[in-house]
Amino acid sequence: MRVITQHAFGGPEVLTIVDAPEPRPHPAEVLVRVKAIGLNPLEARLRAGEFSLIGRPPFVLGWDISGVVEESPQTWRFRPGDEVFGMPLFPRAASAYAEIVSAPALHLARKPASLSHVEAAALPVVGLTAWQGLVDLGGVSEGDRVLVHGGGGGVGHVAIQIAKALGAYVIATAGGSKREFVEGLGADEVIDYTAVDFAGAVRDIDLVLDTIGGDTVERSLGVLRPGGHLVTAVAEEDAELVAAYETAGMRFSGIAVDPDPVALRGLVGLVEEGRLHVHVQETFPFERVADAHRLLDGGHLQGKLVLTV
């Protein structure tokens, strides 16, 4: 079996394909023959050594997978030949940059027939992050006004569609080149952050979903209605920000995505209803993982990048 290993912190060139023994499934786990792997900015940060989530090199990156069950020895949930996708084990290492992955059955769902393996692999991390931020933590409901920062990115473009499916009025920030793309996702308003300061253009927001971080989090305080809520997927909850929001009568939450079978099935439901589509900007063969990471490092992606195996 081939895997892509990280040998030392540094640039994409340190990602190397090596041979490794095939994993063996633990109880309630299945072996998945991987067809596609979704890439996420978090993996570029781990590769560069910005923080230690799964230890120091050597390690194998990756969480988003779509593929075919090869073995399912101790679970009734799947059988060999079933097409599945998911985000196993996060934040523990799933070692998903590989031809075969061992994953808990509860961390996977059956792949919707309408999605290719490439599209399915692009969905779990961003989809679960958006779902948990909007539904589980944010409690978005019919008629709420939702502001999504970074509406053209991985989490953002899925969040717009989920918020619209929940009945919200959705405003999104995005660069001017992504306006048409974001409007096509169903956003009611699009603010070009390169030309307009959102803080002066938006008011009475019930929930802000932040995928940008930095001073965007602080400046979002002024756009919320009394009792409004900011959920950030990238900025950690620090005491000063929490205090500032609470003093102003607002809520501030940071979210770190979890494997979640209920939310994963919720995403499948929206896909099957035709209310959720995942956009893949570019695919790369397994052997070109370094090229994919160079593009990932550049940021400003439209949707997701995917490796094919």
- What values do phi and psi take at 244, rounded to 5? -65, -45
* pLDDT of the residue at 93: 94
Residues 162-185: pLDDT tens digits?
Answer: 999 999 999 999 998 999 999 999
What per-residue confidence (pLDDT) applies to 270? 98
| Per-residue model confidence (pLDDT) at position 193 | 93
Each residue's pLDDT expressed in tens, for the chain with a length of 309 residues: 999 999 888 888 899 999 999 998 887 899 999 999 999 999 999 998 888 888 888 999 999 999 999 999 888 899 999 999 999 999 999 999 999 999 999 999 999 999 999 999 999 999 999 999 999 999 999 999 999 999 999 999 999 999 999 999 999 999 989 999 999 999 999 999 999 999 999 999 999 999 999 899 999 999 999 999 999 998 777 788 889 999 999 999 999 899 999 999 999 999 999 999 999 999 999 999 999 999 999 988 999 999 999
CA–CA gap between residue 61 and residue 40 (Å, rounded)? 10
**What is the pTM for the complete model shown?**
0.96
Q: How far apart are CA 146 and CA 224, in angstroms?
A: 10
Q: Which of 131, 144, 85, 125 is nearest to 303 (CA)?
A: 125
Query: What is residue 212's predicted lDDT score, i.e. its pLDDT?
Result: 93
- Which pLDDT score, from 0 to 100, does residue 110 have? 97
Contact in structure between 54 and 46 (CB atoms under 8 Å)? yes
Strands 29-39 and 64-71: antiparallel
Tell me, what's the pLDDT at 201?
95
